[in-house]
Amino acid sequence: MGDGGSLVLLRHGQSVSNAADVFTGWSDPPLSALGVTQARQAARTLREIGVRPTSVHTSLLRRSIATAEIIADALGRGWLPVQRSWRLNERHYGALTGRDKRAVAAESGAETFRDWRRSYAIAPPAMADTDAAALYADARYADLPPDARPRTESLADVRVRTLPYWADVLRPLVLAGGTPLVVGHGNSLRAFVMHLEGIGAADVERLDIPTAVPMRYRLDRRGRPVTGPEGRYLDPVSAREQVRVGPP
């Protein structure tokens, strides 16, 4: 029997850029071999608990798309309706995109590096004109208005672009008894969790989202989550193994 009336959030499996420890953002690497394994494990977790998604929602990036496809197929639900949106994309890391994190940390210093990675309101330096032009020449962004094409983003910026998707698409589905599965990214999901759990700007800097560990939120009739933070993860052991304590 389905597990209707809940929101399932999942960060994609490890990408090859995650494995290489570089800033990924809106660049589009595939899943690593480990990432494929993680996606299959996420499907097993959902199946064992009895969660049956009624729709699938991904970003426009293939690590999100591939993870969602692996899970839907493993659950025998490859026929589910799918929506893809740029609003679910990872945070845009601007000029840091594709750069080795250790090299950036050595150049910028520990405090600036931490602010660029974890702060709520501070964005990295903007992407260069030529790099931005190449990124937005991609057909998937052809209909994206110029003012919706970031050159860099803070988590605050990500929250502004993701919350309309929650309000206009996901919340109505859950309140109607559906179980949308959102396969997003570390920062797009941090924005959702921040909103759902009422986490403040200072505390969200300590929030880390592990790869491919499903999270579930049930809502009351007013659309407020009834699952506390301690019940966020459907596989808490895997979540604890991945999540670091305190700011990285």
**Quick one: tokens of 47?**
């199946």
Q: What share of the chain is helix, strand, coil (3-state, %, to 5)?
A: 50, 10, 40
Instruction: Tell me what pLDDT residue 228 has.
Output: 56
Instruction: Tell me what pLDDT residue 123 has.
Output: 98
Instruction: Tell me what pLDDT residue 132 has.
Output: 97
Instruction: Tell me what pLDDT residue 229 has.
Output: 52
Mean pLDDT in order along the chain per 10 residues (248 residues): 72 97 97 98 96 97 98 97 98 98 97 95 98 97 94 98 97 94 97 93 93 91 69 81 52
Report the catalytic residues: 12, 90
Instruction: Tell me what pLDDT residue 232 has.
Output: 84
Instruction: Tell me what pLDDT residue 1 has.
Output: 36
Structural domains for the chain = 6-242 (3.40.50.1240)
Burial class (CB in 10 A: 0-12, 13-18, 19+), 102: exposed
Instruction: Tell me what pLDDT residue 175 has.
Output: 92
Q: Which of 1, 66, 61, 77 is nearest to 39 (CA)?
A: 66
Instruction: Tell me what pLDDT residue 240 has.
Output: 79
Instruction: Tell me what pLDDT residue 4 has.
Output: 45
Instruction: Tell me what pLDDT residue 63 has.
Output: 98
